[in-house]
Amino acid sequence: MSFVIAAPEMVAAAATNLASIGSTLSAANSAAALPTTGVLAAGADEVSAAIAELFGAHAQAYQALSDEATTFHDQFVRTLNSGAGTYVSAEADNARQNLLSAINAPTRELLGRPLIGNGADGLTIDGVGQPGEPGGLLYGNGGNGGNSTNPGVTGGAGGAGGLIGNGGAGGHGGPGSSGAVGATAGAGGAGGSGGAGGWLYGAGGAGGNGGIGGSAGQAGTGGLGGAGGSGGAGGWLYGAGGAGGDGGQGGTGGPGDTGGNGGNGGNGGAGGAAGLFGHGGVAGEGGGGGRGGNGGGFGGFGGTGGDGGNGGAGGWIHGNGGAAGDGGNGAFGGDGGDTGADVGGNGGGGGFGGNGGGGGRGGWLSGDGGAAGNGGNGGGGGKGENGVGTADGGSGGLGGDGGVGGSGALGGWFYGSGGAGGTGGEGGGGGNGGEAEGTGTGGGGGFGGSGGDGGNGARGWLVGNGGAGGFGGNGGNGGNGGIGAPGGAGGGGGDGAAAGSGGSGGWVYGNGGAGGNGGNGGGGGDGVGGFASGGNGGNGGDGGDAVLIGSGGNGGAGGSGAADGLSGAGGSGGLLFGQPGAPAG
C-alpha cells in the first residue's frame, strides 16, 4: 500500500515560487511584444514587406499562446494554494477534534456529558428508545431521544442543553400491542419529554408523539393512544419553550357479535415554559379516537378523541404564551350486523370529540396570552343493519358530541392582551337506520350529536385587549330512517352549542373582546312523515366590557335552528372614554 504525505508549508512555498516564475515570464513576454509584433520592412520591395508581415504574424501567435499559458499557470498556482489551505484546515480540524476528545473524555466519564459539543442522540436498543445525552457543560445541544418500537414503551427523553444550547427532541412512543379475543388491546407508549434549553440560552426540545393504540381482536376494545410528550422548558435567561408532542390515535375495536369499542385517543403534550425572556411552546394535539368494531349484532362505540395540551407559559419578564392544542376527533361507531333475530343490529354511537387545551399565560410583566385550542368533532353514528323477511331494520347509532373549546389565557400583568377562546367541535351525524327488506319496519335514524361550547376569551390586565370568545359548535344532522313498510323515523338533529364570551379590556386601557357566534342546530333526518325536528341553535356570546378607556366588544349572533339561539349583548364602553359594543342583529 502506498502513502502520500503532504506538507502544507512546502506546497505553499512551491506555489509562491511558481507565481514568481509566472510573473517573470509575463514581464519578458510583455517586453518582447512591441519589437516583435511591429517588425518594420527592411526595404520598400514586396519581399521585405512579406518577410516583416510573416515575422509579425508569428509574434502575434506567440503572444496569444503565451496568454493561454499564463492563464493555465495562474490556475495551477491557485490550485496549489487552495490545496495547501485545505491541508491546513484539515490538520486544524483534526487537532481540534483531538483536543475536544481529550477534554471531553474525562468529563463524560465523570458527569455523563461532554464539556464542549453536542450530546449524542439516544439509540433504540432492543426496541426501547434511550435518552439523549445532555449537551456540553459550556456549549452544546442536547441529543434527541430514541424512538421506541416495542409495544407500549415510552420514547426516550431529549437531552438538556448545556450552558448555551437547545434541548433535544423527545422520541416517539411505541405502538400498542394487538388484543386477544374479547380483550382490550395494549395502549400506545407516551412520547418522550423534550430536553430543557441551556441554563443561559437555548430553546426547549419538542416532545415526542404518542404511539397509536393497538387494534383489538374479535369483539375486543381498541387500545388507548399514547400521550404526547411535554415540550422542554426554555433557557433560564432566554429561550422559547419546546412544542408538545401529539397524542396517538386510539386503536380500532374488533368485530364480533357485539362489536368492540374503539380506543380513546391520547392527550396532547403540554408546551414548554419559557425562561425570563421567550415565548411559551405550542401544545400538541389530541389523538383521534379509534373506530368502533362492526357487529354481527350491535356495532361498537367509537373512541373519544384525546384532549389538546395546554400551551406553555411565556417568559417571566416578557414573552407570549403558547397556543394550546386542538382536541382530537371522535371516531365513527361500528355498523350493526345481522342478529339472526327479528331485528337488525343497531349501529354503534360515535365517539365524543376531545376538549381543546388552555392557552399558555403571557409573561408576568408583558406578553399576550396564548390562544386556546379548538374542540374536536364528534364521530358519526354507525349504520343500522337491514332487516330480512319479517325482521325490522336496526337503528342508527347516535352521533357523538363535539368537544368543548378551551379558555384563552391571561396576558402580562403590565401589558398584554388576553388569549382567544377556542371554537367548540361539531356534533357527529346520526347513523342511518337499516332498511326492512321484507315486511318489517325500517330502523330509526340516530340522533345527531350536540356541538361543543366555545371557550371564553381572557381579559387584559392593566393595558391590553380582551380575547375574543370562541364560536359554538354546530349540531350534527340526524340520520335518515330506514325504508320499510312502514319506514323508520328520522333522527333528530343535535343542538348547536353556546358561544364563549369575550374577555374584558385592561383596567386602564383596552377594548373588550367580541363574543363568539352560537352554533347552528343540526338538521333532522328524513323518515316517516317527513323530516324529524332539527336541533336548537346555540346562544351567542356576550362582548367583553371595557373599564376606563376602550370600546366594548360586540356580541355574537345566536345560532339558527328549530329554536334560534339568543344573540349576545354588547360590552359596555370605558368609564372615561369608549363606545359600547353592538349587540348582534
Q: Which of 43-57, 97-111, 419-433, 460-474 has the lowest mean pLDDT?
A: 43-57
- pLDDT tens-digit map of 550-575: 999 999 999 998 888 888 898 888 88
According to the model, what pLDDT value does residue 416 have? 93
pTM for this predicted structure: 0.80
Is 547 in contact with 511 (CB distance < 8 Å)?
no
Q: What is the pLDDT of residue 3?
A: 46
Q: Hey, what amino acid is at 197?
A: G
* Residue 467: other Cβ atoms inside 10 A: 38
Q: Collapsing DSSP states into helix, strand and coil, what is residue 129?
A: strand
pLDDT attached to residue 436 = 84
State the DSSP code for 1. Answer: -
Q: Which is more confident, 331 or 57?
A: 331
**Residue-level pLDDT at 1:** 42
pLDDT tops 60 at residue 446: yes
By the 10 Å C-beta count (0-12 exposed, 13-18 middle, 19+ buried), 47 is classed as: exposed
Q: Which helix (H) or strand (E) holds 298?
A: strand 295-298
Amino acid, res. 448: G
Supply the pLDDT for residue 394: 86
**Quick one: 100 exposed, middle or buried, by C-beta within 10 A (0-12, 13-18, 19+)?**
middle
Query: Could you read off the pLDDT of 529-551 as tens digits, one per residue?
Result: 566 788 899 999 999 999 999 99
Domain boundaries, the chain: 8-106, 493-585
**Which DSSP state fits 509?**
B
Non-local (6+) Cβ contacts of 191 within 8 A are: 154, 155, 170, 171, 172, 173, 207, 208, 209, 210, 211, 226, 227, 228, 229, 245, 246, 269
Q: How far is CA 175 from the centre of its chain?
A: 20
**Amino acid letter, 348:** G
User: Quick one: pLDDT at residue 483?
Assistant: 85
**C-alpha neighbours within 13 Å on the C-beta side of residue 295:** 36
List of E strands, 182-264: 256-258
Say yes or no to pLDDT of 325 above 70: yes
- In the chain, what is the straight-line distance between the N-terminal and C-terminal CA atoms, in Å? 90
So what's the pLDDT on residue 391? Answer: 81
The answer on pLDDT for 302 being more than 90 is no
pLDDT above 90 as % of the chain:
48
Average pLDDT, the chain: 85
Predicted confidence at residue 151, as pLDDT, reads 95
3-state secondary structure 346-396: CCCCCCCCCCCCCCCCCCCCECCCCCCCCCCCCCCCCCCCCECCCCECCCC
Q: Please give the grid coordinates belonging to residue 368.
A: 399576550
DSSP string over 332-355: PPPPP---SSSBPPPPPPPPPPPP
Q: Maximum Cα–Cα distance for the chain, whole Å?
A: 131
Ranges 1-10, 151-160, 327-336, 527-536, most confident: 151-160
**pLDDT, position 11:** 56
What is the bridge-based pairing of β-strands 128-129 and 256-258? unpaired
Query: pLDDT tens-digit profile of 175-187?
Result: 999 988 889 999 9
Greater pLDDT, 291 or 256 = 291
pLDDT confidence of residue 241: 93
Cis amide prior to 486 (ω within 30 degrees): yes
Lowest mean pLDDT among 98-102, 303-307, 463-467, 536-540: 98-102
Tell which wins on pLDDT, 480 or 260: 480
Segment 121-139, tens digit of pLDDT = 999 999 999 999 999 888 8
Which of 179-188, 253-262, 270-279 is the least confident region? Answer: 253-262
Confidence at residue 47, expressed as pLDDT on a 0 to 100 scale: 62
Of 530, 183, 522, give the one whose Cα is nearest residue 381.
522
CB under 8 Å to 209, separation ≥6 — which residues? 172, 173, 191, 226, 228, 229, 245, 246, 247, 248, 284
**Distance between CA atoms of 159 and 133, rounded to whole angstroms?**
5
CA–CA separation, 449 and 262 (whole Å): 18
Q: Among candidates 234, 404, 242, which has minimal Cα distance to 308?
A: 404
Q: What is the pLDDT of residue 345?
A: 76
**DSSP-assigned letter for residue 73:** H
User: If you search the block for the grid coordinates 435567561, which residue do you land on?
Assistant: 237
C-alpha cell at 430: 346520526
Question: Could you tell me which of 410, 417, 450 has the C-alpha nearest to residue 559?
Answer: 450
Give, to the nearest 10 degrees, the angle between helix 8-37 and helix 46-111: 160
* Other Cβ atoms closer than 10 A to 105: 12
Joined together, the cell numbers standing for residue 86 give 485545505
Question: What was the pLDDT predicted at 379?
Answer: 94
pLDDT range class, residue 286, cuts 50, 70, 90:
confident
Q: Sorting pLDDT into bands at 50, 70 and 90, what band is 2? A: very low
If you average pLDDT over residues 6-35, what whole number do you get? 61
Q: For 8-106, which CATH class?
A: mainly alpha
Which band of pLDDT confidence, cut at 50, 70 and 90, is reported for residue 200?
confident
- Residues above pLDDT 70, as percent of the chain: 81
β-strand partners of 295:
256
Question: Residue 186 in contact with residue 240, Cβ under 8 Å?
Answer: no
Q: What is the mean pLDDT of residues 210-231?
A: 92
The predicted-structure confidence for 470-518, as pLDDT tens digits, reads as follows 999 999 999 998 888 788 888 888 999 999 999 999 999 999 999 999 9
Q: Indicate whether 580 pLDDT > 70.
A: yes
Exposed/middle/buried for residue 230 (C-beta within 10 Å: 0-12, 13-18, 19+): buried
Looking at residue 222, its amino acid is G
Nearest residue to 397 (alpha-carbon basis) of 368, 430, 428, 364: 430
Of 43-57, 84-98, 565-579, highest mean pLDDT: 565-579
Q: Judge whether residue 76 has pLDDT over 70.
A: no
Nearest CA to 444 among 489, 487, 486, 391?
A: 489
